[in-house]
């Protein structure tokens, strides 16, 4: 068996280096083409008609006027008479026309008669949702009642984190050309290898006859795995128009309304502890919704519920609330942000009841986590970077108009590599191609693949041509769950090693040694321990004659832990530093410190970039981002970029990243980093605001209205 293991830390020439992403210049200059930039000859434009009602039945639909409208080439009825609509924005019909404006004009001519039915679209107040709340989880361990009676302090609170939208800046959509015999597909997707099968099933069309191409994607965050109804209807429109390409992307309002949300989570939490800070009991009544199917129980008490060693006395009851809103989709560490906020808010409120520094409470209870030593060291490092001992003050000491506060959040995630196959080709002219049916979500996947291949082959990164974004390349899994980097790095490593072994076999006779005594380093094939006996890379490749070498490599998740190339289990700590103006309620970010372990780091620059992005998302969620539903109409009130707020550069403050790189973590192999640093920031910021103003603001985002309302309640 070839030796696939990663080179030792001190022997790596490319892996571990701060190499700029290969597509950085193309993106910065505007040359990078996203699927939504695709414009083909003879292309039509598709537009959806969506339902304005949150709950209704279609009584009749008349498309005759639309069919006669100028420029219209195809009309599709998606929701025929008798269809029960379960949320506003439900796709009712679709039109393809010569121009987008003609398609929109035609859509307005479609006549639909609805029977409007009762709806529920808000879940903050459980008592107002009636029968839409259903039991969805219950757990009890130990003896919570006795633990609460024996506790030195008990804190009770009501906390909430709302639904927010994925709000991808490149909306969901695609270009499709389908003549009935073959289908060409340019989607915005997180699933290049798998989306053809999804679309093929819906169309009852062979996936093998669907060609998928995507070079770049403008955001997905967990919402772009499937073809979706708009993909299926785009294909039907193309076929109905004789195979002409159809471009159909959601408009901004529809994108925010139906293209994916992160579920809410609300809870009444009771938590108890000893005077030394030991947490002894947890009780929560929680509820959540991500749409018509309700919402699951967040993993609370977050990280402090480790089997056998977690909080000993727990009682959890959860309700799933069915709303007439579009369904939830995976959102960068699903349910973890909610669980972290609920847990860490309750813990810091308990610390306040105990008159303790919350840092000491966290440190006292790290033994209740799955990785106590890691969390302890990370808490101490984050506190050092945040100047915790210098800046933290108890809530009761909050005074003045501008008040500074610090707060803590924690994270964990899996991140094991997904199924991935890579093909490495070495050509007689010395060029190297690496092919995977993967996608780069903006995280630097291309660059990671190139670094791994370059390290393995002893070449510079620019000598590697990375080919991804086509389903004609070897299958690689969807980019979700922080599984991409582990999967593609492992399959690339194996494929490159296998290809190199073949090259060694060809070159060995010329160097007069067995193939197993050769190595690739510094652009040469050389004898191990004797760099003087070597052959330049190009000269070695010329030995191939007219034939190229091809070799594949596969990451198999069930086998990967034994191989050591990738694994799972990352953890981190974030500390927020804020200033709150108690006269205006405005929260200003000073700093957000993120300490993160993440296994073997292929590229620290890219790893830090992932954490910066995660922190920015946390700041959005903590201070401004939420979906606001109108209970009367059942529609999203802020389905636009004016009122669906996202952070700008002035809102961010300073982000300080510390990668917890060590030989111990490195030995775990590659672990995905997309999810974990997106978890703790909201909790940290919410706790920092509570520390600053002296009172808990129970629901995020921490808008000026909510901050001032909390202060007013304290003064009442």
Q: What is the mean pLDDT of residues 117-143?
A: 96
Name residue, tokens 């130990």.
142
Cβ within 8 Å of residue 108, ≥6 positions away = none
DSSP notation for 383-404: HHHHTHHHH---GGG--SSEEE
Query: Over the stretch 609-654, which tens digit does the pLDDT of each residue have?
Result: 999 999 999 999 999 999 999 999 999 999 999 999 999 999 999 9
Average pLDDT over residues 339-361: 98
Interatomic CA distance for residues 524 and 512, integer angstroms: 16
* Contact indicator for 310, 304 with CB cutoff of 8 Å: yes
Taken in order of first residue, the domains within the chain and their CATH numbers are 9-32+417-563 (3.30.365.10), 35-118+172-249 (3.90.1170.50), 330-416+567-715 (3.30.365.10)
Q: Global pTM?
A: 0.97
Question: Residue 306: which pLDDT band, with cuts at 50, 70 and 90?
Answer: confident
Tell me the CA distances in angstroms from 254 to 114, 191, 227, 383, one per residue in order: 20, 22, 16, 43
Q: pLDDT tens-digit profile of 512-560?
A: 999 999 999 999 999 998 999 999 999 999 999 999 999 999 999 999 9
Q: Please state the rounded mean pLDDT for residues 105-116.
A: 98
Q: Regarding beta strands 587-596 and 654-659, do their DSSP bridges make them parallel or antiparallel, or are they unpaired?
A: parallel
Read off the pLDDT band of 289 (50, 70, 90).
very high
pLDDT(716) > 70: no
CB 216 within 8 Å of CB 441: no
Which one, of 411, 462, 401, 471, lies nearest residue 618 by Cα? Answer: 411
Q: Which residue has the tokens 């073949």?
A: 502
Phi, psi at residue 410, to the nearest 5°?
-130, 160
- Residue 235 binned pLDDT confidence (cut-offs 50, 70, 90): very high
Q: Which residues share a beta bridge with 571?
A: 412
Tens digits of per-residue pLDDT, 363-400? 999 999 999 999 999 999 999 999 999 999 999 999 99
* Structure-token pair, residue 451: 């670094």
pLDDT tens-digit map of 18-41: 999 999 999 999 999 999 999 999
pLDDT at 205 over 90: yes
In the three-class reduction of DSSP (H, G, I as helix; E, B as strand; rest coil), residue 412 is classed as strand
Residue 714 pLDDT class (50, 70, 90 cuts): confident
Percent of the chain with pLDDT over 90: 98
Q: What is the pLDDT of residue 715?
A: 72
Q: How do residues 419-454 score in pLDDT, each as one tens digit?
A: 999 999 999 999 999 999 999 999 999 999 999 999
Q: How many CA atoms lie within 13 A of 125 on its CB side?
A: 3
- Residue 598 is predicted with a pLDDT of 85
Q: Read out DSSP for 51-93?
A: -S-SSEEEEEEE-HHHHTSTTEEEEEESS-TTPEE-STT-EEE
Which burial class, exposed, middle or buried, applies to 654 when counting CB atoms under 10 A from its CB (0-12, 13-18, 19+)? exposed
pLDDT score at 713: 87
Task: Report residue 1's pLDDT band, with 50, 70 and 90 as the boundaries.
Answer: confident
- Average pLDDT of the chain to the nearest whole number: 97
C-alpha separations of 530 from 35, 524, 525 in Å: 50, 12, 11
Angstrom CA distances, 112 to 50, 84, 107, 342, stand at 10, 13, 11, 44
């Amino acid at each position: 068996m070839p030796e696939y293991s990663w080179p030792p830390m001190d022997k790596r020439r490319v892996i571990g280096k701060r190499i700029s992403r290969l597509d950085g210049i193309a993106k910065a200059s505007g040359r990078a083409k996203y699927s939504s930039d695709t414009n083909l000859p003879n292309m039509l434009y598709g537009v959806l008609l969506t339902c304005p009602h949150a709950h209704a039945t279609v009584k009749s639909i008349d498309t005759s006027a639309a069919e006669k409208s100028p420029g219209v080439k195809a009309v599709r009825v998606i929701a025929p008479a008798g269809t029960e609509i379960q949320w506003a924005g439900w796709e009712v019909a679709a039109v393809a026309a010569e121009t987008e404006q003609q398609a929109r004009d035609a859509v307005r001519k479609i006549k639909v008669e609805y029977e409007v039915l009762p709806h529920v679209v808000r879940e903050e107040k459980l008592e107002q949702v009636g029968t839409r709340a259903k039991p969805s989880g219950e757990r009890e361990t130990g003896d919570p009642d006795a633990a609460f009676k024996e506790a030195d302090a008990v804190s009770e609170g009501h906390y909430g984190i709302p639904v927010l939208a994925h709000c991808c800046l490149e909306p969901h959509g695609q270009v499709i050309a389908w003549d009935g015999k073959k289908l060409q597909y340019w989607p915005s997707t997180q699933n290049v290898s798998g989306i053809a099968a999804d679309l093929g099933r819906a169309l009852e069309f062979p996936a093998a006859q669907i060609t998928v191409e995507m070079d770049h994607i403008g955001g997905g965050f967990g919402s772009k795995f499937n073809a979706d109804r708009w993909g299926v209807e785009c294909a039907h429109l193309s076929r109905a128009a004789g195979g002409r390409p159809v471009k159909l992307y959601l408009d901004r309002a529809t994108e925010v309304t139906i293209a994916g949300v992160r579920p809410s989570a609300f809870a009444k939490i009771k938590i108890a502890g000893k005077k030394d800070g030991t947490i002894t009991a947890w009780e929560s009544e929680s509820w959540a919704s991500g749409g018509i199917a309700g919402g699951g129980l967040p993993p609370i008490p977050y990280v402090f519920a480790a089997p056998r060693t977690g909080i000993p006395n727990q009682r959890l009851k959860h309700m799933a609330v069915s709303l007439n809103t579009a369904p939830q989709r995976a959102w960068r560490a699903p349910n973890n942000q909610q669980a972290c906020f609920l847990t860490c808010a309750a813990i810091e409120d308990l610390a306040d009841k105990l008159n303790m520094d919350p840092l000491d409470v966290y440190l006292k209870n790290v033994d209740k986590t799955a990785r106590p030593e890691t969390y302890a060291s990370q808490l101490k490092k984050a506190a050092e970077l945040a100047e915790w001992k210098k800046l933290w003050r108890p809530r009761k000491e909050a005074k003045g108009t501008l008040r500074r506060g610090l707060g803590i959040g924690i994270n964990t995630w899996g991140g094991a590599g997904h199924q991935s196959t890579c093909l490495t080709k070495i050509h007689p002219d010395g060029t190297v191609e690496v092919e995977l049916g993967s996608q780069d979500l903006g995280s630097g996947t291309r660059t990671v693949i190139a670094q791994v291949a370059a390290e393995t082959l002893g070449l510079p990164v620019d000598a590697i041509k990375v080919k991804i974004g086509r389903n004609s390349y070897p299958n690689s899994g969807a980019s979700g769950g922080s599984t991409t980097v582990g999967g593609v790095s492992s399959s690339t490593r194996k494929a490159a090693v296998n290809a190199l072994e073949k090259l060694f076999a060809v070159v060995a006779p010329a160097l007069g040694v067995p193939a197993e005594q050769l190595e690739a380093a510094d652009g040469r094939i050389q004898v191990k321990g004797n760099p003087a006996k070597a052959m330049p890379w190009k000269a070695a490749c010329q030995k191939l004659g007219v034939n190229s070498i091809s070799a594949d490599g596969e990451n198999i998740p069930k086998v990967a832990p034994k191989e050591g190339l990738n694994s799972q289990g990352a953890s981190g700590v974030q500390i927020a530093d804020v200033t709150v103006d108690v006269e205006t309620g405005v929260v200003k970010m000073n700093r957000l410190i993120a300490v993160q372990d993440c296994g073997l780091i292929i590229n620290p620059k890219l790893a830090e970039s992932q954490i910066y992005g995660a922190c920015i998302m946390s700041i959005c969620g903590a201070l401004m981002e939420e979906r606001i539903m109108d209970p009367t109409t059942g529609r999203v009130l802020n389905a636009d970029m004016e009122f669906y707020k996202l952070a700008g550069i002035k809102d961010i403050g300073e982000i300080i990243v510390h990668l917890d790189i060590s030989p111990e973590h490195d030995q775990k192999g590659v672990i995905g980093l997309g999810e974990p640093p997106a978890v703790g920031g909201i909790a940290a910021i919410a706790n920092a605001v509570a520390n600053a103003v002296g009172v808990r603001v129970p629901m995020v985002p921490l808008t000026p209205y909510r901050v001032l309302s909390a202060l007013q309640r304290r003064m009442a």
